[in-house]
A = this chain, B = another copy of it.
Amino acid sequence: MGTILLHNCRALLMDEAGTLLDNAYVAVDGANIASVGTTRPEGTFDREIDCGGNVLMPGLVNAHTHIPMTLLRGYGGGCDLHTWLNQWIFPAEDKLDGRAVRAGTGLALAELIASGVTTIADMYMFCDEITDEVVKAGISANIARGATLFAQDFDFQTYPACVETRELVETWHGYNQGQILVDACIHGEYTSRPDLWIAMAQYAREKNLGMHVHVSETQSEHEECKKRWGKTPFQILDRHGVWDTRAIAAHCVWTTEEDWALMAEKKVSCIHNPVSNLKLGSGVAWIPAMKKAGVNIGLGTDGVSSNNSHDMFEEMKFAAIIHNGVTHDPLALLPMDVLRMATCQGAQALGRRTGRIQAGYTADLILVDFDRPNLTPCHSVADNLVYSTRGSDVVMNMARGNIIYKDGIYFTLDLERIKREVSDYAMPLLFGAP
């Protein structure tokens, strides 16, 4: 790792003031940012990188996804949600094994890294394999084993998803100075029962873990919970102590004003997934109102099976304009609001010191080529990043102080091997002979 000096760039710091630092020098020491300024720092560096006048910004935080589901990109399109899940997605997932999950994870990482993501929060199964691939790729991750509970009998000590969560925590939580954090997880209110909520919440408090939960993604989920418990999903989980730790609530499309007040009070972050919510017909989360209510908001792509991409720049554009459109207010969200969701606010949601270019923060940095026709002219860096940049405009990805991608080259992934594993192993396993 050593020391690296990035210079000749326009650095969007993502500090409170929204500073854009022209002719910036950003020094990196090991996994962290050592200094940021407009004069060359003292001393020598193991490596100096001329950024060619391009835009340097914090790496993006994809705060809710299911990365192995990249294997299911575009699978089972053209049917309603129930049919899609039950006749297409679940049967394919039933056939997954660790090797296929590694292949899907590698494929997702290739897409994520090339489009500027340096941190993810993932919820899935085969988490040991996922984590191992993420560690090798070099980005940071909050890993959660999605836990459901339908049966009446439940023992936290022996229930498989809970056993796996504990093993994950023991093996990986805090690994490599926090590259990996393991979050506790309840898949959702509608896929589990209070026994799980109570035990998982208690375990999270004991181990000081974060919590990752799907909340009020669809109207039916939200309404059926109210019928079942007389409360919204957010509120019934609150009654069982689920939010008494750092927590991320994914989707929140149908949450209420009372939910938002409680989320703000408990410091629970909402993770907005506009593309998935639109594509599946779930609706549009009330993000501007949640923001006004004081809720911290991050951004995620959700799994590629319902997106069907891992491009956080695309996700930012959706987040930036969908609320203007449905509220008929061209100022509902501004570019800096959305950049914050995708960087510092996502970092806060995940309990991480990243998402800003500031001394002491993790050196997660990406470079965007502003010389391309689609980014010319540049009247506003923030506007161009949110409305005009595609993930493919990212030309460098530095994660935890390591350059893991530059000008189309991956330094920690073997893309050809991953593609072979997908086509020769995972595809036949899940979908039969080609």
**Closest Cβ neighbor of A71 among chain B residues:** B377
Our pick among B107, B219, B326 for the contact of A328 (Cβ within 8 Å) is B219
**Closest Cβ neighbor of A88 among chain B residues:** B379
Residues of chain A at interface, number, CB under 8 A:
71
A308 to B77, CA, bound (A): 29
A378 within 8 A of B: yes
A114 to B372, CA, bound (A): 11
A382 to B73, CA, bound (A): 12
A419 within 8 A of B: yes
A-B CB contact pairs (8 Å), 17 listed: A71-B377, A73-B388, A74-B380, A74-B388, A77-B335, A77-B380, A114-B373, A114-B374, A275-B317, A280-B324, A283-B325, A307-B387, A308-B387, A373-B415, A373-B419, A374-B391, A390-B392
A361 to B415, CA, bound (A): 39
Q: Is the CB of B325 within 8 A of A376?
A: no
In the complex, the 3 A-B pairs of residues with the closest C-beta atoms, listed nearest first: A278-B325, A74-B383, A281-B330
**Closest Cβ neighbor of A419 among chain B residues:** B376
Q: Is the CB of A281 within 8 A of B325?
A: yes
**Which of A78, A80, A308, A331 is most buried by chain B, counting CB atoms within 10 A of its CB?**
A308
A196 contact set on B, CB distance < 8 A: none
New contact pairs (19) apart from A74-B378, A392-B393, CB-CB < 8 Å: A71-B377, A73-B388, A74-B387, A74-B388, A77-B380, A77-B382, A80-B331, A84-B330, A107-B373, A107-B376, A275-B321, A277-B325, A279-B387, A281-B324, A284-B326, A310-B374, A311-B390, A377-B422, A377-B427
Contact residues of A between 302 and 320, Cβ < 8 Å to B:
304, 307-311, 314, 317-318, 320
Our pick among B80, B115, B281, B384 for the contact of A73 (Cβ within 8 Å) is B384
A334 contact set on B, CB distance < 8 A: 77-78
A191 within 8 A of B: no
**Closest Cβ neighbor of A385 among chain B residues:** B74
